Amino acid sequence: MTTTIARPILILALIVFSNKLSAADEPFKSDTTDIQLQREKLMLAEIHSIRVTSTESGFPERFEEKPIFRYTDPARSYVSAAVWKLGATGRPRAIITTELHRQFRGQPIISYEFLSLTESEFTAAGNAETWSPSSSALEFKPVPNAPTPDAAPRRRFLQMKEIVNRFSGEETNIGEEYRFRLLPQPIDRYKPTDAEAADGGIFIAAYGTNPEVLLFIESDGTTWSYAAGRLAGADKISLSIDGEIAWTGSPCRFEFDADAAYTSSRSGIEIPGIAPDGSEIRTTSKTGRDE
């Protein structure tokens, strides 16, 4: 029985756990629930299965084992999801998302999204698909009316956030329109070049906390620029800055496209705690009570 004194402690614990769902300091937190931990380990195993090859010297061979963002999307039946980057330093070479969907066409699935961020040719082969993108999804453009990048990293960070606040986004999917919110904190901060005052950050335009677009804000040391890449198969998707269209997502195919800069795939998988019909599997504790 939960006493009056214990309730504030329980509420505080739930708040802390909720805040940590989207943190990426470690691949998996010890205070996550057992079932959530199993789901996250399942996604990590999928990422570990991917081997990357390229003719470019020093090209990363594996995706980083720490996700740069974690989220769920109950409205769309995703029970656990994460964003993973290729490359430990500088702008990532690619992004993969893994999403555990409780049921799609009669079974639980894992859904992947692939986003290339480099013009260098590479192949990523794992349990999912073999992906060999032939180009980058990113096309950088100057940020209009942007300040000169500050010499101090902390002030540059504030400049980036001010630029992000000028963006808005929306998508249309199967006749339904959705507006995005730009999450205020970057999911990755990096130095794109060796130039002084060079800086970069990856921000999310999200439905809830589900990334629909990745927004890249970069300084080359003298000016600010932006680029965007879709993480959604919506019919139409776009970002605006100061109310003017700044980026429109290129059309994409519903089927997996092995050489596309953005593509997606899905496959059946057993998700811990999820029955084949998509319902939660209820377990019985040692006290005999359902949990």
> Helix/strand/coil (H, E, C) string of 241-278?
ECCEEEEECCCCCCCCCCCCCEEEEEEECCCCCECCCC
Residue found under tokens 């769309």: 76
HSE toward the beta carbon, residue 249, CA cutoff 13 A = 28
Average pLDDT of the residues in 28-33: 53
Q: Vertex 243, ends 238 and 246: CA angle to 5°?
A: 40
DSSP string of 151-174, one letter each residue: SSHHHHHHHHHHHHTTEEEEEEET
Average pLDDT of the residues in 13-28: 40
* SS3 (DSSP) at 48: helix
Residue 263 above 60 pLDDT? Answer: yes
Residue 245 above 70 pLDDT? Answer: yes
Average pLDDT of the residues in 129-149: 97
Query: What is the pLDDT, as a whole number, of residue 3?
Result: 36
Q: Is the pTM of this model over 0.95?
A: no
Give residue-wise pLDDT tens across range 46-55: 999 999 999 9
Residue 192's closest CA among 122, 81, 62, 87? 87
Query: What is the pLDDT, as a whole number, of residue 32?
Result: 58
Average pLDDT of the residues in 40-64: 97
Q: How far apart are CA 199 and CA 272, in angstroms?
A: 40
Torsion (CA) 89, 95, 96, 97 in degrees, nearest 10:
100
Query: What is the pLDDT, as a whole number, of residue 33?
Result: 79
* SS3 (DSSP) at 36: helix
What distances in angstroms separate CA 41 from CA 35, 45, 74, 124, one per listed residue? Answer: 10, 6, 20, 20
**Count of Cβ atoms closer than 10 Å to residue 67 Cβ:** 27
Residue 75 above 50 pLDDT? Answer: yes
Residue with more model confidence, 25 or 96: 96
What distances in angstroms separate CA 128 from CA 24, 69, 162, one per listed residue? Answer: 23, 20, 38
Residue 252's closest CA among 96, 115, 84? 115
The burial class, CB within 10 Å (0-12 / 13-18 / 19+), for 290 is exposed
Average pLDDT of the residues in 190-215: 96
* SS3 (DSSP) at 10: helix
Average pLDDT of the residues in 158-174: 96
Q: Calculate the CA 26 to chain-centre distance.
A: 15
Residue 111 above 90 pLDDT? Answer: yes
Residue with more model confidence, 163 or 10: 163
Q: How confident is the model at residue 283 (pLDDT cuts 50, 70, 90)?
A: low
- The one-character DSSP state at 44 is H
Average pLDDT, the chain: 88
Q: How confident is the model at residue 30 (pLDDT cuts 50, 70, 90)?
A: very low
Query: What is the pLDDT, as a whole number, of residue 174?
Result: 85
Beta strand 224-230 with 236-241: parallel, antiparallel or unpaired?
unpaired
Residue 16 above 50 pLDDT? Answer: no
Query: What is the pLDDT, as a whole number, of residue 173?
Result: 86
Query: What is the pLDDT, as a whole number, of residue 190?
Result: 98
Query: What is the pLDDT, as a whole number, of residue 1?
Result: 38
* 18 sits in which H/E element: helix 6-20
Query: What is the pLDDT, as a whole number, of residue 31?
Result: 45
